Amino acid sequence: MSAALPRQINRRLVLEDPQRQSDGAGGYSETWTGLGALWAEVVALTGRTSGQEGGSLALQRYRISLRATPEGSLSRPRPGQRFRASDRLFRIETVSEADAQGRYLDCRCVEEVAP
């Protein structure tokens, strides 16, 4: 899709941030905290199957586009966070400005699906 074309911002996603909590034995556990709901366009890109111990894992890549927010804002996605859509999870790998005017952000994400 060209950056000049209007985006179809019609999917409600929740931006989540990982939080580490001490497990009391020198390690930590990871939980996810919702930072708020955003509206986005979700476009499927490439996918593949990855063999892992005990089975396979389908890895589907997506471009998730949303209206830009200022640098430093809690609602601005960053790598290491994820989007949630009900029971679907999209891990954010990269975030970049989608157009020269800075109106949109493009997030490259991966959804892991166990068949």
Can you give the pTM of this predicted structure?
Answer: 0.81
Token code pair at residue 22 = 């001490």
Per-residue confidence (pLDDT) for residue 112, from 0 to 100: 73
Q: Which domains does the chain have, with CATH numbers?
A: 11-18+28-113 (2.40.10.270)
pLDDT per residue rounded down to tens, the chain (115 residues):
444 556 789 999 999 999 988 888 888 888 999 999 999 999 999 877 766 666 667 789 999 999 999 888 989 999 999 999 999 999 999 999 988 888 999 999 999 776 5
Give residue 36's region: left, alpha or beta (phi > 0; psi -120 to 50): left
Q: What does each C-alpha distance from 13 to 19, 23, 112, 115 come to in angstroms? A: 19, 30, 16, 23
The span from the CA of 49 to the CA of 16, in Å, is 25
